[in-house]
Amino acid sequence: MGKTRFKASDVYANGFGIIDENGAETKAFDDAKSVVQVMAITVPNAATGNVDTELEQDLKVIDAYLVVTGTNGSNANTIQLRNGTTNALTDAMSTNGKSANDIVRADELVPARQAFEAGDTLRIVRTRAGGENSCVVYVHYIAQ
């Protein structure tokens, strides 16, 4: 049997397909439950506060990081993801000393809080001590 490969050009309206060495589709996914998806959430520069996203589907968060869009300087600003309003999903990602385009990864992801149901809130807690704290948070997840 030949190699099985995935071609990024073979994205279908209903999901993705796996293509064999001859270019023939060997398996099609009828939903997105088998692929990692990414949600990008813009966090504007503002005082300490929350950016809430109501989820439309069941999902499991598998990774999170942010890309700084402003210049923070030496301020103790942080971004943290929560499952709901109080349950920390990640550690507080520090943007201290970071500049535009820097990437900050979550060092911790709490396994017991990775699962969300449709209607749940994914909360981003923005703690601003000074300077600018704008960023885009990228959340990688698998639909459940």
Is residue 59 pLDDT above 80, yes or no? Answer: yes
Q: Which percentage of the chain shows pLDDT scores above 70?
A: 75
Is residue 6 pLDDT above 50, yes or no? Answer: no
What is the pLDDT, as a whole number, of residue 5?
A: 43
Mean of the per-residue pLDDT values for the chain?
A: 83
- The alpha helices in the chain, defined as continuous H runs, are none
Task: For the chain, give every domain's residue range.
Answer: 1-30, 36-143
Which of residues 71 and 5 earns the better pLDDT score?
Answer: 71
Question: Thinking of the domain 36-143, which architecture would CATH place it in?
Answer: Sandwich (2.60)
Q: Where are the beta strands (DSSP E) in the chain?
A: 4-5, 11-12, 15-20, 25-28, 36-43, 49-54, 59-68, 78-83, 87-88, 93-94, 103-105, 115-116, 121-127, 135-143
